[in-house]
Amino acid sequence: MGPQQPAARATGARIRGFDWLRGIAVLVMIQTHALGLLRPELRSGLLWTRLQWVDGLVAPAFIFSAGFSLALVQVRGAAAGMRAVRVRKTLRRLGEVLLVATLLNWMWFPIFREPRWIFRIDILHCIGLSLLLALPIFALLSPPPRLLSWVSLALAAVVFGVSPFAEHVRGPLAALANGSTESVFPLLPWGGYVYLGASAGAVAAYDPRKLPWWIGGLLVAGAVLWIATPQLAAVYPPHQFWVTNPANHASRWTQVCALLLVLFALERSPAGARAVSRIPFVELFATSSLAGYFFHQMLLFYRIAGFSFEARWGNSCSWPKYWLVLVLLIAATAVLTWAMDRVYSRLWNPLWTRLQKVDSSATGAPSQRGQARHAP
């Protein structure tokens, strides 16, 4: 036999640095949304400003990780001869993301009386729709992953580059293009992070040794654009710099990439890996980020028998009390996430496996179980 290709050699290996990034992002996201518990007069000053800076990296890290994972699994699925199976599984998961996103909109807004709220794009909608649009491209280009990495990088440049112009879009596409219809995370510019992460995911799939170098390259490119802020601010017609300008987003992905390089270094060190793994709930939220997002929103805002964290402590916490209540919120979210994991693994996953077997038997294709040793 000839030498094994890097993509095959890497099949199934987890990139723990990205797992940790996702888990940390969920923890910080909970902290971000819980800031409404603080007394209004405390929402200023050095600590508040520092938290706002950190919190501004949560969405980029979350969406970047989603794009990375999508490209990684599509390339691995193609390398294992399971591209169609992987696409179907991905579609199921994207359906779950969009279902939860719609459920949250239903919880917060009267979507049946005012259907326009269904189309409000929050972060889960942004991730689900961006991945859904990217999936055909990633599936098609998954066999030549080097090409996928460069195409994804080019698509990221296009999305970020045209975003300032999208502020002026009106009509049916406005919800996807900008915040004029109260969308919080429109696909322009936030979908750009999907393609940016996908470029790294394709590299990780065919040669994980090159991943730190690729992330380093993204960091350098982002730093260059960051330095060119005055030029990039001036090249566009009037726009909201902090929302759509590529230089602003370059500063964000530069910092996310810097954190990733630190996590990669810790991943290579047994002591470092143990230290990160000991951060409470990082590993849990790394693999169950959707459940973590849903349950912390439920606990924080949705009133059950009149109780929610916001109803009980909203606008009333001092800084010491805020941190104590935040710990309670994170712990409660973790318990519910852990319980959902048990339900998912014991009920939904076995049901899906049986459905896959029935589908395989009907089409004459090999079952997923029969190919399990090759699955990514």
pLDDT in tens, 9-34: 444 678 999 999 999 999 999 999 99
Measured CA to CA, the distance from residue 88 to residue 93 in angstroms comes to 9
Highest mean pLDDT (candidates 24-33, 106-115, 119-128): 24-33
Please indicate, yes or no, if residue 1 is contained in any of the structural domains: no
Residue 195 lies in a domain: yes
Q: Is residue 110 part of a domain?
A: yes
Q: Are 207 and 76 in contact (CB under 8 A)?
A: no
Tell me if 28 is assigned to some domain: yes
Bridge partners of 106, per DSSP, are none
Is 288 inside any structural domain?
yes
Q: In angstroms, how far is the first alpha carbon of the chain from the final one?
A: 22
Stronger pLDDT, 282 or 4, i.e. the higher one = 282
* pLDDT, averaged across the chain: 88
77-95 burial, b at 16+ Cβ within 10 Å, e below that, comes to bbbbebbebbbebbeebbe
Decide which of 156 and 104 is more confident.
156
Query: Could you count the other beta carbons within 10 Å of the beta carbon of residue 53?
Result: 10
247 belongs to a structural domain: yes
**Domains in the chain, number:** 1
- What does the pLDDT look like over 145-170, one tens digit per residue? 999 999 999 999 999 999 999 998 88
Q: Which of 249, 247, 196, 144 is nearest to 18 (CA)?
A: 196
Confidence label for 349 from pLDDT (cuts 50, 70 and 90): low
Distance separating alpha carbons of residues 308 and 305, to the nearest angstrom: 9
Q: Closest by alpha carbon to 63, among 204, 159, 180, 206?
A: 159
Task: Provide the 10 A C-beta neighbour count for residue 74.
Answer: 30
Q: How many Cβ atoms from other residues are within 10 Å of residue 170's Cβ?
A: 10
Counting residues of the chain whose pLDDT is more than 70, the rounded percentage is: 89
* Furthest-apart CA atoms within the chain: distance in Å: 70
* CA 64-12-371 angle, 5° bins: 125
Q: Indicate the DSSP class of residue 366.
A: P
pLDDT for 252 equals 97
Domain coverage including residue 189 = 6-374
